[in-house]
Amino acid sequence: MSSLFPSQWSLVSGGITAPHGFWAGGISAGLKSTLKPDLALLLVPENSVCFGAFTQSLFRASCIDLGQRSIAKNKGRIRAVLINSGQANACTGEQGLKDTRTAIRELAKLLSINESEVLMCSTGVIGERIPMDILVPSLAEVVKSLSSEGGDQAAQAILTTDLRDKQIAVQANLGGKIVSIGGMAKGSGMIHPNMATMLGFITCDVGIPKNIWNEMLSRSVQSSFNAITVDGDTSTNDAFLAFNSGDTLSSKHFDFLEEGIQKVTQFLAKAIARDGEGANCLIQTEVQGANNDHDARKLARTVCSSSLVKTAIHGCDPNWGRIVAALGRSGIEFDSRFVSLWLGQFQLVKDGQPIPFDRKSVSDYMKLKMKGRYMEDDCISLKIVIGAGKGFGTGWGCDLSQEYIHINADYTT
Amino acid sequence: MSSLFPSQWSLVSGGITAPHGFWAGGISAGLKSTLKPDLALLLVPENSVCFGAFTQSLFRASCIDLGQRSIAKNKGRIRAVLINSGQANACTGEQGLKDTRTAIRELAKLLSINESEVLMCSTGVIGERIPMDILVPSLAEVVKSLSSEGGDQAAQAILTTDLRDKQIAVQANLGGKIVSIGGMAKGSGMIHPNMATMLGFITCDVGIPKNIWNEMLSRSVQSSFNAITVDGDTSTNDAFLAFNSGDTLSSKHFDFLEEGIQKVTQFLAKAIARDGEGANCLIQTEVQGANNDHDARKLARTVCSSSLVKTAIHGCDPNWGRIVAALGRSGIEFDSRFVSLWLGQFQLVKDGQPIPFDRKSVSDYMKLKMKGRYMEDDCISLKIVIGAGKGFGTGWGCDLSQEYIHINADYTT
């Protein structure tokens, strides 16, 4: 039992294959110019329920359109997800669509399932087609890599410029039955709320009716993947897929299960923000006292996405003026005379006005939190009281560094 | 007659004091820690009409609230504007408001005018009060610096981290009468549409009725100061003030005058984007074929404000995928199959799909345009056809560089 989760959900290993019956695998097919893993496969048990949330961009890769249609057509019963990294296969027109269809068809044959039961996710450079002469012959190999312990391999194979894999699994006893939830994600750049500029996958080995599952996951996405930002850009290929399959859970455990799902989605979302391109720290902004949760979340995300806030934090500079400026332009109504603000345990603003603080102590706190950025509890914490309302919301982001510019000024050429 | 303005409006010197009857001045009062000019004054002829547009931030400096009230109270008849640079005097509560009132009262006494005829604009660090023991004794000196040729001094004194002053004046013969329009502005950081994260001032020596003047200026602000972005952040102190005073102009010249005003406001807005913190070039994005002008402007601004587009341009990388990704997440409806895109004279996307282009030639074009960024015609030009509608709009921005991070990671400490 880890201190990470003080409830009855405890951390276990295995990632997306920790839940019973889910198999995964990953290989280096040669789709990337490096020798890194670049093709992953998730095999889902029969009678699964799949929830999907996809990018809201009007420029969407064809795999996104196809996936959304298949989930609807099959009422959520999906058996496999193929994921390639290196080429986004977005803005590739008719040929790109044909390629996706070919990959799905060939994989369905190998797995002896229907084409409409296969989803595909692509991540990488926009406008680049997947080299089909490499992909198609690799499908047999990625099928062969499937195992009940393949979560780790899959989590590696979906990465692009990520520095670390992002996976987690938790387990709890629900009325005598051990239930597991697993998850993996990739992020790095083009990360901004609105579902969700990243790939994310959740598995769960207990049966939940489709409508309940969809509601649970919709709520969880709001307070996790849609609450993070790296650079304000939404991708053409973002997808989040969540599967459950198993004996039906008693409805009395639904709230507790949702708590576990939220832990998993928030862990993954924070891992993405923490590992944003060029990032040195995770920034967590909690807003309370807003008129409603939506307003609070929007305020939190506006602060986390401000370039001036992000650069100030990068410089370990407690420049609260930029934080209040970001709040002021968020588009959310509030009375500036009732705003208070804390950075770590240090209060910087009270009732809309600065109060004296020891600049060096606050800066030292920020420096300390930068050092251990991959630790779960290490984040630069902003707490904002915006009024006397009941709305509460949290947003996560990262600092903006010279390294972000370096990575992004020279990505395709 | 300069080639800059092929119409009958020709460039002249003098900035905001080019129009007859407007006096200005600027001094180094010692408000800044450097010895740079930091206090400016604009004296407006009697019977003026003042248009004012102010920040939409909910955290507004008290000078903004006072100014808005004075313009309304006096029906646009304003005689003087005092501008200090170094301290924003925002989030400084009751004492900050008192300080602004004191400065206005003392200046009104010196000029023998009503307090409500004096406006004040402050720019600098948020949360810092103006050192009144320096400001008040300096008022007599800044009044003494007033002259009919003081536009240049004033334009220098309003700058903060700007590398260059931003001023212009144009002149034309309107039915036998020589009419001049002058302007100055400051920008640099916290620059994003929505009026307008900067200070801007326009003077004009011909009389225009208040309602006509306000309409003209509102339109001009939309297609100039509200069409630029540097870093997406809106300031607490943004103000744009435009004055006219003189013999009433015949209504048959209104359209032509508005054309001149638009040239001046667009010149100043582009100068701000061009000189954005850490910028190496001006990015101009023209969108046509949208459903309406509003949609076109929003698409253009979304492209100009994308960190990924800005860093790609910084790297002279024709990464069109990031441009279409920005269009796709703008919130504006369009059909991606009808989108075409040019960078300079090079077409990169046709009907939603990439077309072959010589990467090196496009990159060389971008490198060339970076070199001469202060030249009026030198900008990195993006042209986007988004559909078959009649909406047209232009946005301006700048690249995102390591220097931006450097400037902003270490501003107050």
Q: What is the DSSP string of B317-328?
A: ---HHHHHHHHH
- The pLDDT tens digits along chain B (413 residues) read 344 444 589 999 999 999 999 999 999 999 988 889 999 999 999 989 999 998 888 888 899 999 999 999 999 999 999 999 989 898 888 999 999 999 999 999 999 999 999 999 999 888 889 999 999 999 999 999 999 999 999 999 999 878 889 999 999 999 899 999 999 999 876 654 333 348 899 999 999 999 999 999 999 998 898 888 777 667 788 889 999 999 999 999 999 999 999 999 999 999 888 888 888 899 999 999 999 999 999 999 999 989 889 999 999 999 898 899 899 888 899 999 999 999 999 999 999 888 999 999 999 999 988 866 566 668 999 999 999 999 999 999 999 988 888 888 865 54
Report chain A's mean pLDDT, rounded to a whole number.
90
Q: Among residues of chain A, what percentage have pLDDT more than 70? A: 92
pLDDT at A196: 34
Distance CA B74, CA B66 (A): 12
A17 touches chain B (CB under 8 A): no
* Reported pTM: 0.82
A355 touches chain B (CB under 8 A): no
Residues 6+ apart with CB under 8 A from B228: B191, B192, B193, B196, B269, B270, B272, B273, B304, B395, B396, B397
Q: What residues 60-119 of chain B have any CB closer than 8 A to a CB of chain A? A: 60, 88, 90-93
Q: Which residues of A touch B339 (CB under 8 A)?
A: 59
* Angle (CA) A307 A223 A252, round 5°: 170
Distances (CA, A) of B255 to B145, B159, B211, B213: 36, 32, 14, 11
| Residue of A160, A277, A308 to mutate, testing the B interface (most B Cβ within 10 Å of its Cβ) | A308
Q: Sign (positive/negative) of CA torsion A113, A115, A117, A120?
A: positive
| Residue of B283, B306, B405 to mutate, testing the A interface (most A Cβ within 10 Å of its Cβ) | B405
Residues linked to residue A172 through DSSP beta bridges, in sequence order:
A179
Domains of chain B by range and CATH? Answer: 7-274 (3.60.70.12), 282-409 (3.10.20.340)
Catalytic residue among A197, A203, A302, A394: A197
| Contact between residue B217 and residue B262 where contact means Cβ atoms under 8 Å apart | no
In chain A, whose CA is at the least distance from the CA of B324?
A59
End-to-end CA distance of chain A: 47
Higher pLDDT, A40 or B321: A40
Closest Cβ opposite residue B409 in set A233, A236, A314: A314
Amino acid (one-letter) located at A77? R
Amino acid (one-letter) located at B252? K
Q: Range with the lowest mean pLDDT among A4-18, A266-280, A321-335, B65-79?
A: A4-18
Does position A381 have pLDDT exceeding 90, yes or no?
Answer: yes
Q: Place A251 in a pLDDT band, splitting at 50, 70 and 90.
A: very high
Q: Sign (positive/negative) of CA torsion A282, A288, A293, A298?
A: negative
pLDDT at A163: 84
Which 3 state secondary structure label does DSSP give B56? coil
Task: For A313-368, write each residue's pLDDT tens digit.
Answer: 999 999 898 899 899 888 899 999 999 999 999 999 999 888 999 999 999 999 98
B117-144 burial, b for 16+ CB within 10 Å, e for fewer? bbbbbbbbebbbebeeeebbebbeebbe
| Contact between residue A125 and residue A32 where contact means Cβ atoms under 8 Å apart | no
Secondary-structure breakdown of chain A: helix, strand, coil percentages, each rounded to the nearest 5: 35, 25, 40
Chain A, chain B: beta-carbon pairs less than 8 Å apart? 203
Task: For A154-184, write each residue's pLDDT tens digit.
Answer: 999 999 878 889 999 999 999 899 999 999 9
> How far A361 CA lies from chain B's nearest CA (Å)?
13
Residue A385, H or E segment: strand A380-385
Higher pLDDT, A119 or A162: A119
